[in-house]
Amino acid sequence: MNQSYNKIIYFFIIFLCTSGYAGRIDLGERINLPQIGMSFEFFEDMKDSPAAIPDIYKTKKSGRNVYKSLGIWKYKQFAGRWSNEFSVITAAVMHTPLPANDSLLTVDKAKRRYNKRSSTVNWKESSVKKWLNLYFGLKKIKKLIEFDITKTDLGVLYYSEDKSFRYFTGVIKERSRLKRNVALCFKTVKDISKKKAAKYVFDSMNSIRYIKIESDNAANIVFFNKEARLGFKKDSSLKKILIISNIRNFENWKLIVSEDYYILTDCKLDRKEKNFLLNVAETLEKSKIIYEKFYEEQRSCRDKFTVRIFKSRDGYSRYLGKDMEWSGGVWIASKRELVLTKSDYTRSEKERFMRVLRHEGFHQYIYYALGELRSAAWFNEGNAVFFENCELFGSKIYIKPSKNKLEYFKKHLLEDSNLADKISVLLKKNYQEFYSRKHFRRDYSLAWALVYFLNTENRFIRNRFHRNYSGILPLYYKMLWDTRNSKTATNKAWKGVNFKYFSEAMAFYFRTQVSRNETNIQQVIQHN
């Protein structure tokens, strides 16, 4: 195909774009993809959006952790995703044949599959369409045009649509350097006319420049200390490989490495934000020491814990989706990832962020500490709120009550004549019942009050009521590990407890011993 023919196609597309346009679309700043050695001008105001790390599943019989081969196949070829208010652009390298089936892979097999060198694929028209269908979920794919991108490389533009979006997918067929295919899927809303969108997709593909291929992103890694640097070098886990790949094509993303945590973030590393991120790493490490003091690991985690921090609410929402955009942080067990959105630098916002960090950090810790067993809702959420307000200074753990939960408990539950029944009901609730909007605030406040009382009740309470409840939480933790069943563990831990007497003791404790002053430190526990 010669250059004159290419120009004819180009002017033909421009001619088609002169009518039917609603909405605005323009090319924006150039975006580099160092992992694949390419650079493009995408649309205006595009924000990067890393791919979600592949989900981990558990087999029913053996309980082993496995990946789906299709998830590894997609992630291995992922090169980047960017979006604005009307479009999403996803880049992928077509270097791996379609999987024969969506089989299950152990962690070791998934690692070998991911590290395996890409094979040469004979990309016929039918195999390209099958790849686009499987990778992007495109249906009824139509080939629009072929055109020369460079003197040696060919571009092919495909089109498909559904009820809400149009999909223009450009495939760049390299015939000179690496002899591979690169796919760019432009997903646009239907407010943008088909003809206008096609013109700018064509312009974007023709903006290609070849840049130096970078095998890693070492310049964007910050180490918390020397031990973290040494540990990073020794780490050969699949998790590390997936994390490095996750940020490789995004200039704004960095990796903070501490002794126990990988912290991914798109925050700028200026002085203020670097200090903030290092403070996050320090808080995580100290919080882990506190968690261990109360609940020693039953099974050590071989991998580092992963935390992702977005600088903006918008990026956080795009990553998690609409179902979770209301939250400020969330532990995603299937991805083994704690995700948060950064606060501003006011004192109150930083304190809120750190509370969320310690809260979700407990969910992450207890998941690994129990060998990925799921604990009961009352135990998991009650402890998470409890640890929001625990801090380590030197060898001492300082514990404060939760201001909001304490206020709610004293206002709505403290003098409730049915408190004993409410405690009994709470202990039996599953997660769906616990998170129900009907009793959401009550259940969180009561779960926190239970854990706070059980962890901090003093000798005065024991002498007055002649009962000792301090062994309930450790017993539950042990029984959960022994029985592998949260319901059975709850029954064993609370066996023989008279809830009427228990609620009276707890109410008296909060009425007389727990201050309303949020800065009043209630307990100081020596940490050895």
Mean pLDDT of the chain: 88
The pLDDT of residue 407: 95
**Of 250, 245, 183, 305, which is closest to residue 53 (Cα–Cα)?**
245
When pLDDT is averaged across residues 196-203 and rounded to a whole number, the result is 89
What type of residue sits at position 294? F
> Under CATH, what is the fold of the domain 3-210?
Protein Transport Mog1p; Chain A (3.40.1000)
Q: Is the pLDDT of residue 120 over 60?
A: yes
The pLDDT of residue 374: 94
Residue 271's pLDDT band (cuts 50, 70, 90): confident
Comparison of pLDDT for 447 and 94, the residue scoring more: 447
Q: Which of 162-171, 265-274, 359-368, 374-383 has the lowest mean pLDDT?
A: 265-274
Residue 87's pLDDT band (cuts 50, 70, 90): very high
Q: What is the DSSP string of 130-162?
A: HHHHHHH---S-EEEEEEESSSS-EEEEEEEE-
- Cβ(157)–Cβ(128) below 8 Å: no
Domain boundaries, the chain: 3-210, 218-372, 403-526
What tens digit of pLDDT does each residue of 57-86 get?
999 888 899 999 999 999 999 999 999 989
- Helix (H) / strand (E) element for 261: namely strand 261-265
The pLDDT of residue 243: 92
Name the percent of the chain lying above pLDDT 70. Answer: 90
Rg, Å, the chain Cα set:
27
Q: Is the pLDDT of residue 216 over 70?
A: no
pTM for the full predicted model: 0.89
Residue 21's pLDDT band (cuts 50, 70, 90): very low
Residue 26's CB: how many other CB atoms inside 10 A? Answer: 10
The pLDDT of residue 171: 94
Cα(2)–Cα(383) distance, integer angstroms: 69
State the architecture of 218-372 in CATH terms: 2-Layer Sandwich (3.30)
Sign of the torsion formed by the C-alpha atoms of 93, 94, 97 and 98 = positive
When pLDDT is averaged across residues 455-477 and rounded to a whole number, the result is 87
Cα(524)–Cα(400) distance, integer angstroms: 9
The pLDDT of residue 13: 52
Q: Which of 139-153, 234-248, 417-431, 461-475 has the highest mean pLDDT?
A: 417-431
Cα(467)–Cα(447) distance, integer angstroms: 20
- Helix (H) / strand (E) element for 338: namely strand 337-341
Comparison of pLDDT for 288 and 118, the residue scoring more: 288
The pLDDT of residue 525: 57
Cα(41)–Cα(200) distance, integer angstroms: 10
The pLDDT of residue 214: 77
Residue 520's pLDDT band (cuts 50, 70, 90): very low
Residue located via tokens 């998991």: 380
Strand intervals (E) in 376-421 = 390-393, 396-399
The pLDDT of residue 465: 86
The pLDDT of residue 17: 45
Residues counted in the chain: 528
In sequence order, the β-bridge partners of residue 332 are: 337
Instruction: Report how far Cα 202 is from the mean position of its chain's Cα atoms.
Output: 34
